[in-house]
């Protein structure tokens, strides 16, 4: 089957690459905020086609990676209880905490189940009324509305054995924190399309106002990404930063206001700890008091202990974009996807995993390759 | 008979005998099996013997397009076929969990019988054990198979050369996606189906006409096309160059992969093979592969070069290039 999808069209991609090569006249460093972008850029081999002056830096946008080790430890401890069924998205289960991962707990007999949606967790709760079914509620703006909807459904069903472990986060506050770090040199941001569908393109405006950062909201196909990079290069070179919506077919300036109000109805902002970034004010979401009956941390009085990073792991700096995965001494030796030390090597969106998996082809290696031939 | 498997069914006593006579023999007609000897004695083979074994623990045991039974038959037949062997006979080892529904077992045995009949490869010896509830997961199946390899057939990675052509016998990742989505209870539009099927007819036809030009064959099961090609690359210290655009894939499979954040290159196939062939004969081999139903969607997907020795390089649909590393760790669906 030929891919007919216009957003992956090879000729379009190559035309955009050509344009980028022609237009880029100065070094531009761009942070892709979101792990899905990082992965897509690697998977489509885009990184190798970009002009040398464009530097891509991966940011903190992998929900699994930014979940601090204290919270992972609490997950694992909770999984050890015989009256609890843990339900979680898949990539969480291999993240190592200080006493092993959820996968380890499962091997020791804990009931840990992978679900694809929090609604599945609610279904399990209905089937197993004797157990407390806990959904590990991790994720950004994209995920939160579904979790909110599940809470409402649980309330409607009068389900008293369904809980979440609230660990959701929102995107703008950590970006604010990040940009204050003088070690990070970024000219522009590739803003995540799926977060923006919910939160709206305008949610990144403050970055332009405060830090004069160029911003482009982008989808996840190659053409989307390249259009956004082109826009960013244009803004940076002209010295006129703004928020440019390059994903107009899905994103509006205001976002999905219905989803937003659903989230506001159920969740309330709280200070939240991020791996590598520390505690950031109003960057997490807790359940509002009206819904606290669904909060397992309230029910069982769970308090996260202080975090301790896996020894030698530089995930914190990787998430901030000040350390490239390959600069971590454990990368590829002690830390691999099969045997991860830090979360960035676990998640399919993790920066270290992406580099480990796809990062083998350096720019110089493909010289004279098909790409150049086709560009001519 | 009761409608569930009990520990008695595996005790070697009468209940077990009834199970064998009334259920297994109904679907598995081979006279050698029916002799119930400790070992099957087969006619003298004419050629070198290929011998292979594999165990099947798939969850769920029934999935769109098949079940664990036919998977176990086709899987071992395909392992033999990939060495250029003509499969002769299979063994069937069952480990049943106490409480397995008898009608589920019957469905599975029935499709084992049907798969054997279709393939022309009988089950000639077997064994059944029952483990207490919780010590197994419904049903585990082991099949071993023997086959014979024709005189001038030599299928080995050692014969792969620079310039060889890579052919794939059909669409990618159908089985892996079907299993993951049915495990997830995900509804995907269209109709996803496992591709479980035997490949020995296709292989036989190719080898009959072009045996000398086929250098190696592999079926990309667990670990998928990416891992299998990486293994060939590593073993030969040559570069496998493939074109994403040329890899056949169902639209539903692609959509499901995107939804779950999975790379189809690493998902299992249960009825596809990679053929590495001499360049001058590749087009002819492609035509032969396409002439049988299980190879109708065969494509040339790449070639062997020296560009990056020991590695697999994929030219993406977007025109970029990237390395394809072997899979490490189970593919896990992402958070989104
Ligand atoms: S390579 Fe492993 S240990 Fe190093 S920063 Fe990445 S995840 Fe942490």
Residues B39 and B62 reside in one and the same domain: yes
Model confidence over B199-217: pLDDT tens digits?
999 999 999 999 999 999 9
In a domain, B330, yes or no: no
Radius of gyration of chain B (CA): 21
**Number of domains comprising chain B:** 2
pLDDT tens across B90-105, in order? 999 999 999 999 999 9
- If asked whether residues B76 and B203 sit together in one domain, one would say no
Residue range A221-262, pLDDT digits in tens: 899 999 999 999 999 999 999 999 999 888 999 999 999 999
Q: How far apart are CA B40 and CA A99, in angstroms?
A: 51
Q: Whose CA is nearest to atom 1 of ligand 1?
A: A331
B-chain residues within 8 Å CB-CB of A168? none
**Does residue B335 form part of some domain?**
no
Cβ contact B164:B279 at 8 Å = yes
Residue where a domain stops, chosen among B149, B183, B215 = B149
Provide the token pair at A4. Answer: 């007919």
CATH number for A64-171+255-299 (one of 3.30.70.660, 3.90.1010.10, 3.20.20.70, 3.40.50.11740): it is 3.40.50.11740
Residue B34 inside a domain? The answer is yes
Residues B130 and B191 occupy one common structural domain: no
- B78 and B209 housed in the same domain: no
pLDDT band at B188 (very low <50, low <70, confident <90, very high): low
Q: Is there a domain that residue B139 lies in?
A: yes
Separation of alpha carbons A29 and A38, rounded Å: 14
The interface predicted TM-score (ipTM) is: 0.71
Over residues B140-155, the pLDDT tens digits come to 999 999 999 988 899 9
Q: Which of A325, A339, A349 to mutate to test ligand 1, by most ligand atoms within 8 A of the CB atom?
A: A325
B224 assigned to some structural domain: yes
Q: Is A323 in the pocket of ligand 1 (CB under 6 A)?
A: no
Q: Residue B268 contacts by C-beta under 8 Å, 6 or more apart in sequence?
A: B173, B175, B176, B179, B220, B221, B222, B223, B224
Query: Across-strand partners of A54?
Result: A28
Which pLDDT value is given to residue A210? Answer: 95
Taking CB atoms and an 8 Å limit, are A370 and B186 in contact across chains? no
Q: What is the mean pLDDT of residues B309-327?
A: 90
Please give the residue of chain A at the shortest CA–CA distance from B317: A10
Record: contact A1-B318, CB cut-off 8 A: no
Pairing of strands A84-88, A214-218: unpaired
pLDDT per residue as tens digits for the range A9-25: 888 999 999 999 999 99
CATH class of the domain at A5-62+174-245: alpha beta
Pocket test for ligand 1, best of A316, A326, A344, A357 (most atoms within 8 A of CB): A344
How far is Cα of residue A281 from the mean position of the Cα atoms in its chain? Answer: 19
Q: Do A189 and A207 form a contact (C-beta atoms < 8 A)?
A: yes
Decide if pLDDT at B336 tops 50: no
Alpha helices in A131-221 (DSSP H): 144-157, 172-179, 193-199, 205-211
CB contact under 8 A, A1 and B332: no
- Predicted confidence band of residue B329 (pLDDT cuts 50, 70, 90): low
Please tell me the residue having the least CA distance from ligand 1 atom 3: A313
Number of H helices, E strands in chain B: 10, 13
- In this predicted model, what pLDDT tens digit does every residue of A58-78 receive, in sequence order? 988 888 899 999 999 999 999
B27 and B101 fall within a common domain: yes
- Using CB atoms, which residue from A116, A222, A358 is nearest to B318? A222
**Structural domain contains residue B275:** yes
pLDDT confidence band for A82 (50 / 70 / 90): very high
B53 in the same domain as B28: yes
Are A125 and A34 contacting, i.e. CB atoms less than 8 angstroms apart?
Answer: no
| Radius of gyration (C-alpha) of chain A in whole angstroms | 21
Of A10, A336, A358, the CB nearest to B323: A358
Q: How far apart are CA B53 and CA B61, in angstroms?
A: 19
Residues of chain A with CATH 3.40.50.11750: 5-62+174-245
Which of B92, B119, B149 marks a domain boundary?
B149
**What is the domain-level CATH number for residue B12?**
3.30.1330.10
For residue A319 and ligand 1, the question of a CB distance below 6 A is answered with no
Would B258 be classed as within a structural domain? yes
Numbered ranges of CATH 3.40.50.11740 in chain A: 64-171+255-299
Which sign does the torsion angle of CA A335, A337, A341, A344 carry? positive
pLDDT in tens, B101-127: 999 999 999 999 999 999 999 999 999
Domain boundary among B149, B173, B208: B149
Query: Within 10 Å of residue A306's Cβ, how many Cβ atoms?
Result: 9
Residue B209 lies in a domain: yes
Atom index in ligand 1 nearest the CA of residue A350 equals 7
| Residue contact A1–B335, C-beta within 8 A | no
A195-215 average pLDDT score? 94
Cβ burial, residue B28 (10 Å; 0-12/13-18/19+): buried
Domain that holds residue B282: 157-324
**Test the B interface: residue of A45, A63, A340 with most B CBs within 10 Å:** A45
């Amino acid at each position: 089957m030929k891919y007919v999808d216009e957003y992956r069209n090879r000729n379009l991609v190559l035309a955009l690459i050509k344009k980028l090569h022609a237009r880029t006249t100065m070094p531009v460093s761009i942070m892709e905020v979101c792990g899905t972008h990082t992965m897509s850029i690697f998977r489509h081999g885009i990184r190798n086609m970009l002009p040398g002056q464009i530097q891509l830096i991966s940011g903190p946008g992998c929900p699994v990676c930014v979940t601090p080790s204290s919270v992972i430890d609490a997950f694992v401890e909770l999984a050890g209880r015989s009256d609890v069924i843990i339900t979680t998205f898949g990539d969480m289960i291999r993240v190592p905490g200080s006493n092993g991962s959820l996968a380890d707990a499962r091997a020791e007999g804990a009931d840990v189940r992978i679900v694809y949606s929090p609604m599945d967790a609610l279904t399990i709760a209905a089937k197993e009324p004797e157990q407390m079914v806990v959904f590990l509620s991790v994720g950004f703006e994209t995920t939160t509305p579904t979790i909110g909807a599940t809470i409402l459904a649980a309330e409607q069903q009068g389900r008293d054995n369904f809980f979440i472990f609230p660990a959701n986060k929102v995107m703008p506050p950590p970006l604010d924190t990040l940009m204050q770090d003088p070690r990070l040199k970024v000219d522009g941001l590739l803003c995540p399309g799926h977060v923006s569908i919910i939160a709206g393109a305008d949610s990144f405006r403050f970055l332009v106002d405060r830090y004069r950062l160029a911003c482009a909201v982008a989808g996840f196909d190659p053409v989307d990404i390249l259009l956004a990079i082109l826009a960013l290069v244009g803004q940076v070179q002209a010295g006129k930063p703004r928020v440019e919506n390059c994903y107009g077919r899905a994103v509006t300036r205001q976002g999905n206001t219905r989803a937003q109000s659903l989230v506001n109805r159920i969740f309330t902002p709280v200070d939240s700890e991020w791996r590598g970034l520390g505690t950031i004010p109003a960057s997490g979401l807790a359940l509002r008091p009206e819904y606290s009956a669904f909060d397992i941390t309230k029910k069982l009085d769970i308090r996260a202990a202080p975090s301790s990073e896996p020894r030698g792991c530089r995930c914190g700096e990787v998430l901030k974009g000040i350390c490239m995965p390959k600069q971590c001494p454990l990368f590829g030796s002690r830390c691999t996807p099969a045997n991860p030390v830090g979360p960035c090597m676990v998640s399919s969106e993790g920066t270290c995993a992406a580099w480990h998996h796809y990062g083998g082809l350096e720019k110089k290696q493909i010289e004279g390759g098909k790409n150049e031939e086709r560009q001519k | 008979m009761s409608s569930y498997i009990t520990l008695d069914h595996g005790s070697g006593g009468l209940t077990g005998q009834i199970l064998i006579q009334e259920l297994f023999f109904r679907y598995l007609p081979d006279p050698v099996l029916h002799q119930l000897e400790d070992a099957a004695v087969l006619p003298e083979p004419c050629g070198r013997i290929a011998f292979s074994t594999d165990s099947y623990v798939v969850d769920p045991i029934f999935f769109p397009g098949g079940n664990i039974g036919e998977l176990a038959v086709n899987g071992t037949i395909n392992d033999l076929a990939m060495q250029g062997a003509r499969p002769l006979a299979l063994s069937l080892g069952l480990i049943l969990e106490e409480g397995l529904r008898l009608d589920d077992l019957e469905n599975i045995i029935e499709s084992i019988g049907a798969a054997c009949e279709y393939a022309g490869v009988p089950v000639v010896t077997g064994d059944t054990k029952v483990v207490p509830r919780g010590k197994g997961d419904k049903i585990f199946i082991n099949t071993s198979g023997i086959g014979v390899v024709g005189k001038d057939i030599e299928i080995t990675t050692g014969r792969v050369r620079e310039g060889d052509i890579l052919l794939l016998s059909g669409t990618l990742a159908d089985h892996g996606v079907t299993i993951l989505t049915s495990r997830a209870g995900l509804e995907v539009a269209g109709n996803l189906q496992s591709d479980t099927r035997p490949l020995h007819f296709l292989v036989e036809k190719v080898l009959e006409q072009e045996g000398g030009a086929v250098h190696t064959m592999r079926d990309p099961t667990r670990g998928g096309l990416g891992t299998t090609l990486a293994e060939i690359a590593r073993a030969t210290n040559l570069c496998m160059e493939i074109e994403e655009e040329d890899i056949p894939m169902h639209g539903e499979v692609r959509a499901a992969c995107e939804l779950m954040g999975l790379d189809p290159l690493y998902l299992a196939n249960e009825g596809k093979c990679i053929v590495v062939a001499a360049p001058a004969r590749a087009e002819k081999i492609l035509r032969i592969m396409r002439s049988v139903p299980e190879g109708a969607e065969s494509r040339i997907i790449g070639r062997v070069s020296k560009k990056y020795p020991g590695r697999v390089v994929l030219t993406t649909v977007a025109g970029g290039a990237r390395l394809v590393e072997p899979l490490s760790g189970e593919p896990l669906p992402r958070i989104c």
